[in-house]
Amino acid sequence: MHLADHARLTPDKPALISADTGKVVTFAQLDERSLRMANLFRERGLKRGDHVALLMENNLAFLDAVWACFRSGLYITTINRYLPPDEAAYIVNDCGAKVLISSFAKRETAEALADLIPACPIRLMVDGVIPGWEAYEAARDGASPAPLDREWMGDSML
């Protein structure tokens, strides 16, 4: 079953639960957040086949971006959170990521990446922000939760 089906049938059921904090994200919340991220990617000029890279620890925001990519026909490249900045930058540059999403917990690595990934203009940070990065939550929450336009998505999942 697709995320949208779970959100429709069991909107208040937990989709994610943080073992560290006990915080819960329901299927309805995950569905809306992923739609917002997909629309944000579109607003920022990403097109089907573009890449988004993720560099973070286990984090509830991780699946927002993953589902947004699934829905949008975007590729997602995960980066091992233990890599040093030069190796993480190699992956970002090699896959041609136009977006890098990291977390405040990985801020030291993220800060060192800035000069190493000039072709990756969109840099979003979860749970806090450092100079040169945009607050993930504000960007996500400012985007539309509207269903995706089939013309933009091609034959991707809704």
User: Which residue ranges make up each domain of the chain?
Assistant: 3-145
Helix 27-43 crosses helix 62-72 at what angle (to 10 degrees)?
A: 60
At residue 158 the predicted structure's pLDDT band, cuts being 50, 70 and 90, is very low
Measure Cα distances from 136 to 30, 49, 89 in Å: 15, 22, 20
CB 150 within 8 A of CB 43: no
- 33: nearest Cα among 124, 126, 145: 145
pLDDT digits 0-9 by tens, 22-59: 999 999 999 999 999 999 999 999 999 999 999 999 89
CATH 3.40.50.980 matches 3-145: yes
What percent of the chain is predicted at pLDDT more than 70?
94
pLDDT digits 0-9 by tens, 98-125: 999 999 999 999 999 989 999 999 999 9
Tokens of 83: 């890599």
Q: Which amino acid, residue 30?
A: L
